[in-house]
Amino acid sequence: MSDAPIEIQEGAIVDQPGGGPEPSRFGPGGVLRRGTIVYTGVTAGRNLQTGHHVTIRGGAVIGDHVVIGTNTVLDGLLTIGDFVKIETGCYLPTHMSVGNRVFIGPCVTFTNDRYPLKMRDAYLRDGPQGAHVEDLVTIGGGCTICPGVRIGRGSFVAAGAIVTRDAPPMSLVIGAPARIEPLPDRLREDNMALSWRDLIPADGDAQ
């Protein structure tokens, strides 16, 4: 595990104005690849890795060993845990949270506004309502997660699902609109990327 400072490739921009009053902070290791833009006010742990043309806005709090794929947008004011993989072309809005050991497949869209450009008085009163993704969740490619939805620990969201309601822990979420079924036994093991095996001990707690 490297303790060297994060690598900032030529063409990546750090501390783009407009994200917050403080400079962004990064733990050791990792790389911000060409085309990545990180606004002021971002906090990230060790070994953050971005693809090309990633945007991270101010107020994002990112844990250790997080991978953010090419052309993904983190719109700020959100939290992401440790050991998270976010694939290419995803959109994560404000006021949402992602737990630990989570996989988010390519082209997944989260939303935080139930009635865009409608019912603005209610929006001013209640504010944005982001989704909450608990630990050990897997979300397949091309899913849409609607505002305020909570996806329970250990659940598996099948590719292409449109998730409009909460899913209890250990659910299989499938279809459009999604239905919720018990999680099959073969999908009940904890999420574990090959690259995490030397970093997460047998008891499952991240180091």
CA–CA gap between residue 183 and residue 171 (Å, rounded): 5
pTM: 0.95
- The answer to whether residue 82 is domain-embedded is no
pLDDT of residue 44: 98
Which secondary structure element, helix H or strand E, spans residue 110, and what is its range? Answer: strand 109-110
Tell me the Cα Rg of the chain: 17
Verify that 65 and 125 share a domain, yes or no: no
CA–CA gap between residue 84 and residue 106 (Å, rounded): 13
Say which CATH number the domain at 130 has.
Answer: 2.160.10.10
CA–CA gap between residue 179 and residue 9 (Å, rounded): 43
pLDDT of residue 207: 45
- The answer to whether residue 91 is domain-embedded is no
Could you tell me what percentage of the chain is helix, strand and coil, using 3-state DSSP and rounding each to the nearest 5? 5, 30, 65
Say which CATH number the domain at 16 has.
Answer: 2.160.10
Verify that 102 and 73 share a domain, yes or no: no
- The answer to whether residue 85 is domain-embedded is no
The alpha carbon of 66 is separated from its chain's Cα centroid by a whole number of angstroms, namely 9
Of residues 176, 185, 194, the one with CA closest to residue 156 = 185
Instruction: State the residue range of the domain holding 6.
Output: 1-77
- The answer to whether residue 87 is domain-embedded is no
Q: What is the mean pLDDT of each run of 10 residues along the chain (207 residues)?
A: 89 96 96 98 98 98 98 97 98 98 98 95 93 98 98 98 98 98 97 94 60
- The answer to whether residue 30 is domain-embedded is yes
pLDDT of residue 201: 78
